[in-house]
Structure 1
Amino acid sequence: MVTQVTPYWAGRIAEAELGEALPRRWAHSQGVAARAEEIGRLLHKDANLLTAAATLHDVGYAPRLAITGFHPLDGARFLRDEHRADARLTRLVANHSFALLEAEERGLREELATEFPLLDDPLLVDALVYCDMTTTPDGGRTTARERVAEIVGRYGPDGVVGRFIQRAAPEIFSSVEKVEAALVAQPR
């Protein structure tokens, strides 16, 4: 039986996995979830799915879940295998913020793409990118450009994450711009 995805359910799982072990990562996840709640009106029936994915997008960093060392894949597998989570949720977590490009850097592209194909829902995918890439590591607000610069600074330009985020930056900025335009066009 597939677990019903709710923000409350997602919050309990993320806090259990990240709260004590990785409090800064948990703060970031809470900030990303707050952004998702703010923009949920864009997604109508998928607002709760966005918030749940935002809350859980980094759960794969939890030490006990870090099997491959690639958090999107580890988190999606955990949600699928231990929680029987909805396939749309696991696919969002697996592919958040252009993870397929990082998977390529790590030699895991085929594995990720086969197990968790990218959703064919551009607004939902872009919305999760927006939430993640406009939230600091401590859960505060930032711009996508500042966030990308922070990630490059933290991981270095030549490491796997640094190379990936630099490759992904144009796509990240495009996603954020699309969501910002949709928010302006959407009446409150």
Structure 2
Amino acid sequence: MLLDVCLGTRTAWKILFVFAEAPGKAVSRKEIQQLTKLGNKVLTKFLLLLEKFGMITSSKIGKAYYYRLNLSNPFAEQIVETILLEKKHLNNPDFSALNVLREFVYELTNADLENLEQVILFGSYAKRTFSKDSDIDVAVITQEKSADDELLITDIIDRLHKRFRKEIQPHYYTTKEFKALEKKDKLVKEIVKDGIRLV
């Protein structure tokens, strides 16, 4: 199997993230679409690709198509292990929050933000004390203050909120500010103590 052809896109990985939640479970096409927020055409293309490469299998039950991770494929097993390891590193956030974080980090790293140093997840999602209504707290640490960068990040957050209905709450610091506040500011102490670095 040529891994770069089969797994070389974020779309293929988004679908595999769904299967990694419960590797032996059959998942309907509708469920996959709801969880990944992928359009019909793109979803169809990548389900067919993953099936062609033996990563997933499909079956029709009634009028609905169901897909299952092909656990007899050794690559599938390794991929699930890798996904679960990543999830463990991020302190096992729920699926929807992890989707939002992935999109947020993707957007940030592909935006024109040369100033960006670190993005750290903290608060209830880092500590596993979140509720359904919790926002996602992130510290955004830059080399220097930039109103343009903050506007760009706010735009990214607004687009993701419209798409996922999950609020991201950014807390901005320069590297110098963050260092200076590490020992005296309660919030920065919490970020240092419980934070999970995303970038």
With the shorter chain as reference, the TM-score category is under 0.3
More helix by share: 1
- Ranked by relative contact order (alpha carbons within 8 Å, sequence separation 6 or more), the top structure is 1
What TM-score do the two structures reach when normalised by structure 2? 0.27
What TM-score do the two structures reach when normalised by structure 1? 0.28
Rg: which structure is higher? Answer: 2
